[in-house]
Chain A
C-alpha cells in the first residue's frame, strides 16, 4: 500500500474511533441527573404567550404553559374541577350572573408575590383588549366586571348567564405586577420574565431556557403551592417528524413522546422498556352534509337520503380498520357534542349501523331504481354526491376510501372531492360542498355548538336550520344547572340524529409513549395534554 494511502486510511480510522469513543461516552441517557425527563415534542410553540393568536398552539400550553397555572383544570375524564381555585366556584347570583371564586391561600408566583384577584382582573383585561391579538375572547367578553372581595376572593359579574364558565377558568392566569404596562402582543414571546428579568411561574415547573428550534427547558418551581414536584427538569426536544420521534424513543434519545396517531406508531406497542397509553381525544372527526345552497345534488336536502347515506356506512369497521394497531378499543362516536369519555354522553347515532335493507327500502319508497352501474336513480337524479376531505391527511383519505366503497355497494356514489386544507376550508366556508370530512376540536364543554348547528350559525356551513335544535342549544348556553344543560344538549343531538345534517365518526385517539421507569404519567386526552400533572411525575 502506498504510504500516502496508508496515512489517509489511518486518519479515517482514528477519526471513526474517536467518534465511536465519544459516542460511547455519550451513549448514556442524556439527562443531567436521575430526576430529569427528556420529552420529544412534536411541534414547537410558535411563541410562548399562549393567549395570543400566533402562539395559540396546544404545545405552547403543554410545554412552557405548565408554568402558568389556571384556576380550574380539565381532568382526563373530561370533568372540570378546581386547581388553583380554593374549592369550586359558587354561583351567588343569577341576575346578573355572578360567580364567587377563591384563590388558594398558598398560591403564589415564583418571585414570592401572591396570586391575587388583580391577576384575574389583568388576565380578563388582556383578553378583551381589542389592541391585543388574542386567539379567543369567548367567555371573557361576557364578563361585565370583576370585584375583589379581598385579595384572594373575586366576584366575577357577567353581562348575561354564561354556562361555559368552568371552561373559561381553565385559561392560564397572568401576573399583573409583571406585565402591567407592557405590550401584551410582544412581551413573553420568548420567555416568561418579569421586569427584573426573573422567570415567572405559578405552576409546578418554571421556564429555564428556550432555544428556538431545539429545546425548551422547564425546571422545578420551588415556590409551587401544590405538591412538590419530584422531577428536577423537563427538557422538551422539538422533533417534528413522527418517524424520527419513534427512533428517538427507541434509541433512548428521549424519554417520552406524544405524537399524532400514525400507523407506524404500532411498532412501539409491546417494545420492552416502553409503555403506551391511548385514549379517545377531543378531535371530533365527522362528516358534514350540505343540505342547502351550494350542494350539487338536491337529494341532499331530503332527510331520507341523508339517512340512507348514514345506513350505508359501517363506521365500526372503518374505525377498526384505521386504528386496530393503535387503539383497538377506540369507539365509534355516536354524539356530535359530547365525547364518549364524558358522563353526559348519549349514543343518539347508534341506530346508524350498516343496513343495506334499510337503504334499499328508503330508496324504493321513493320509486328510485338502480342504474346499470349499481347507483340509485330517483326521478332522473343519480344518488351521486361529492365527498371531500383535507388531502394529505392519510387517515382521513383512508376513511374516505373505506366509506366510498361501502356506499357504492349500497347504491350511492361518493365522488372524491378532496383538496389541501388551505383550499378545502375556504370552500367549506363558502358552502360549496356536498359531504365534507373534517374535525371540530371540542373542549369537553358544549358551549358554542350553536355557532355550528344553530340556524344562521357563523360556522354552520351545511345550511342546517332546525328551530327546535337552535332553541335548545341557545337555552343550554344560558342554563346554569349542569344536568339541565346536558339534557338540553342531548335533546338537540337526538333531533339531529333524525335530521342527519352531520354524521359523527370517531374521536382521534391520543398516543402517549414513555419509558417504564417514568411513573405518574397519565394521558389527558383533553386540551390539557400529557403534562397536566407534572408535579406527580417521578423516575424510578
Chain B
C-alpha cells in the first residue's frame, strides 16, 4: 500500500505539470489582461508599462510560462497582476478553510441524510417512502443551485420579518461584530449555503446508496446472516450497509475534491469568502494570476482526493490490494 501511495504521488507530478501547461495556455490565449485598463484614457501609461515589465507580459509565451512556473514553486504563486504588495498564497490560505468548512458541513449533512434515505428505500423497496425518495432525488438533480439559494434566502428573510426570530442568516460568514470560526454565529451563516449545496449531494448519495444496498441485501451472505437468526437491524447495519458503503466512499471522495473548487455559485450568492468568489472576482477583473493559482489548487485537490478515494477503497474492502 505504501509503495502504491508513493507511486501515485510520483505520477501526480507530471499530471500537475501537464495541468499547469494547459492552464497557462488556456488563460493566456483569452487575450491581453491589461486590455480594459489600456482602454481607459485616464489610466497611467507609465503604470501599464511597469506592470508589463514586472510580469514579463511582452515576452514570448514559453518565457512567460517559465517565469510563472518559477513563481509558483519558489514564491507560492507570486503576486496578482495589479497588487505587487500582495501574495496570492495568503489569499488562498484565507479562502480555502472557509470553503472546506462549508463543504465539510454540507457533505456530512448530505451523507447522513443520503445514506439514511438510500438504506430505508432499499429495505422498503417500492413503498411510498421509496417512491417519494426517488421523486425527491430527481427534483434534487434538476433544481438549479442558484434558484434554490435565492428561494431559501427569501424564505428565511420572510420568516424573520413575520416572527422576528432569526433562524439563519442569508449572507456572509459572520455577523457584523463577530469573526469567530467555530461558533453558533458561523453555523447560522453557513446553514443555508450548506442546505443549498447538499440537496444535489443528498439526491446523488441517496440513489447510489439505494442501488448499492439493493445489490447487497439480496446476496448470499446476507441471506445466511438472516438464516443464522440475527436481528434484521444487525443484518442491515452490520453486514449489508458496510459492504454497500464501498462504492459510495469513492463517490464521496471524488465529490469532495470537486466541491473544493465547485461551490462557486453557492459561495458567490451567499457572499462567503471562499474559493468561489475568489475565482469569480479575479476572473471578472481579468487578473489571470490568481485565476491560474485557483485552477492549480483545484487540480491538486482533485488529484489528491482521487488518491484518497483509492486508498479508502482498499481500506474498506480487504479484498482489494494494490501493488
Contact = CB atoms under 8 A, between A and B. Distances in A.
Nearest to A37: B176
Interface of B: 30-32, 35-44, 46-47, 50-51, 80-86, 91, 94-95, 98, 150, 153-154, 156-157, 160-161, 164-177, 179, 184-185, 187-188, 191, 268-271, 273, 277-278, 281, 285-286
A181 to B, nearest CB: 16
A253 B170 contact: yes
Contacts of B187: 19
A126 to B, nearest CB: 13
Contact of A130 (B30, B32, B46, B179): B46
Contact of B285 (A46, A186, A215): A46
B134 to A, nearest CB: 22
A153 to B, nearest CB: 29
Interface string A243-275: 111011011110000000000000000000000
Contact of A421 (B36, B40, B268): B36
Nearest to A40: B171
A212 B91 contact: yes
Given A185-B84, A240-B281, A251-B156, A22 B35 contact: no
B83 A30 contact: no
A422 to B, nearest CB: 6
19 contacts: A19-B191, A24-B165, A26-B166, A26-B188, A46-B285, A53-B37, A53-B47, A54-B80, A133-B50, A135-B43, A237-B171, A238-B271, A239-B171, A239-B172, A425-B35, A425-B39, A426-B32, A426-B39, A429-B39
B188 A251 contact: no
Interface in A51-73: 52-55
A114 B185 CA distance: 42
Nearest to B283: A422
A136 interface: yes
A22 B176 contact: no
A240 B268 contact: yes
Contacts of A22: 184, 188
A30 B175 contact: yes
A423 B32 CA distance: 9
B150 A19 contact: no
A253 B150 CA distance: 16
Given A30-B176, A53-B43, A247 B94 contact: no
Nearest to A236: B176
A215 B179 CA distance: 9
B31 A426 contact: yes
Nearest to B159: A251
B85 A214 contact: no
B42 A448 contact: yes
Contact of B44 (A30, A46, A135): A135
Nearest to A209: B179
A214 B273 contact: yes
Contact of A212 (B82, B273, B285): B273
Interface size class of A (residues with CB under 8 A): 35 or more
A251 B30 contact: no
Given A24-B165, A250-B157, A425-B35, A185 B85 contact: yes
Contact of A241 (B43, B271, B286): B271
Contact of A47 (B83, B153, B154, B167): B83
Contact of B167 (A20, A54, A134, A240): A20
Interface stretch (A292-300, A400-408, A451-459, A496-504): A451-459
Given A44-B281, A244-B270, A452-B41, 4 more contacts: A20-B167, A24-B166, A53-B44, A237-B171
B171 A244 contact: yes
B303 to A, nearest CB: 26
Given A130-B50, A253-B171, A429-B39, A237 B176 contact: yes
Contact of A133 (B40, B82, B176): B82
A32 B173 contact: no
A31 B176 contact: yes
Contacts of A186: 84-85
A27 interface: yes
B146 to A, nearest CB: 9
A55 B37 CA distance: 13
A215 B94 CA distance: 14
A27 B159 CA distance: 11
B164 A27 contact: yes
Contact of A429 (B38, B156, B185, B277): B38
Contacts of B36: 421-422, 425
Contacts of B83: 46-47, 52, 54-55, 189
B31 A133 contact: no
Nearest to B277: A240
A19 B174 CA distance: 15
A228 interface: no
A53 B82 contact: yes
A144 B281 CA distance: 39
A211 interface: yes
Contacts of A13: none
A239 B170 CA distance: 10
A429 B98 CA distance: 40
A125 to B, nearest CB: 14
Max chain A C-beta neighbours (<10 A), residue from B39, B173, B185, B277: B39
A428 interface: yes
Contacts of B51: 53, 133
A131 B44 CA distance: 12
Most buried by B among A31, A134, A251, A252: A251
Contact of B184 (A19, A235, A426, A451): A19
B273 A248 contact: no
B170 A23 contact: no
B185 A189 contact: no
B99 to A, nearest CB: 11
Nearest to A15: B187
Contacts of B167: 19-20, 23
Interface string A4-35: 00000000000000111011101100111000
A213 B44 contact: no
A137 B286 CA distance: 23
Nearest to B85: A186
Contact of B177 (A32, A54, A239): A32
Nearest to A186: B85
B39 A248 contact: no
B46 A459 contact: no
Contacts of A19: 167-168, 184, 187-188, 191
Interface in A118-170: 130-138
A95 interface: no
A27 B84 contact: no
Interface string A450-473: 011000011100000000000000
A518 B122 CA distance: 58
A134 B44 contact: yes
B54 to A, nearest CB: 8
Contacts of B40: 459
A6 to B, nearest CB: 14
